[in-house]
Amino acid sequence: MEALLREMEAYAEENHVPIIRDRGRLAYIETVKQAQPCQVLEVGAAIGYSGLLAAMYGAPGLRLDAIEHNAGRVEAARRFWGRTPYAGQLQVILGDATELLSKWRRPEGGYDFVFLDAAKGQYADYFRLVLPLLADTALVVADNVLFRGYVRGKGPIPHRFRTIAMRLREYLALTSTTPGCSTEIVKCGDGLAVTTVRKDERFAAKQA
Ligand SMILES: C[S@@+](CC[C@H](N)C(=O)[O-])C[C@H]1O[C@@H](n2cnc3c(N)ncnc32)[C@H](O)[C@@H]1O
């Protein structure tokens, strides 16, 4: 599998596809290893690299549903996955994440792990849409939440990055204040937000 991962990394490099790399990749693998998810939803699959890592390090037999709006990347993901023993467990659906998630059906038992890695400005919307799709206890992991240091930093933010930095701040506030949710930020690479969602606490807060 390592040779295939190297091939995917080279493909991503040649075709300018942003995939999870370096320290972000290690933190992602560590999170998956510890959580041992069975049912994963990925928003922003690209060529299937992080999806393959989930299959390699998650629970045996893990199933992954992924969303990607770039047709070429969807094809590449299917081609790469087709060369692995996980092919039957991984599927990617072509389309816009917000549109698809608005009508997505919750699988039996719900998703116990969600990886948000598509449009950073939409993370808060994705989070609201995936909440009803989750298992009783789930992790929602979001990549790049510190966005070049502009999200938590006190310094000036270049004009072109202001909206995205504000939206990521909104995401971090949302995932820390929603009942039943607590968020930890792994400060590696561009920052990985790991939110634990517990449904019983959400219901208790609603009824209080
Ligand atoms: C950072 S890449 C994902 C990398 C992948 N998770 C990995 O590490 O291997 C983000 C992907 O999200 C896709 N994307 C961006 N906006 C999207 C949207 N609105 N709906 C679906 N996919 C989207 C992009 O085409 C891109 O391939």
CA of 15 to the centre of ligand 1 (A): 14
What confidence tier does 144 reach under pLDDT thresholds 50, 70, 90? Answer: confident
Angstrom distance (rounded) from CA 187 to CA 104: 31
Angstrom distance (rounded) from CA 5 to CA 157: 35
Res 157: pLDDT: 82
Ligand 1 pocket test: which of 31, 41, 69 has the largest number of ligand atoms within 8 Å of its C-beta?
Answer: 69
Could you report the per-residue pLDDT of 24-59, keeping only the tens digit for each? 899 999 999 999 999 999 999 999 999 999 999 999
The residues with which 90 forms a beta bridge, in sequence order, are: 64
Protein residue with least CA distance to atom 26, ligand 1: 46
Location of structure tokens 């037999």: 61
Tell me the pairing of strands 192-198 and 181-186: antiparallel
Among the four given CATH numbers 3.40.50.150, 3.40.47.10, 3.30.70.2500, 2.60.40.10, the one describing domain 2-199: 3.40.50.150
Kindly state the tokens that stand for 29. 């693998």
Could you report the per-residue pLDDT of 69-85, keeping only the tens digit for each? 999 999 999 999 999 99
* Closest by Cα among 113, 104, 103 to 134: 113
Is the model's pLDDT at 178 over the cut of 80? yes
Let me know: does 84 contact 110? Beta carbons within 8 Å.
Answer: no
Q: Where are the domains of the chain?
A: 2-199
The 10 Å Cβ neighbour count of residue 157 is: 17
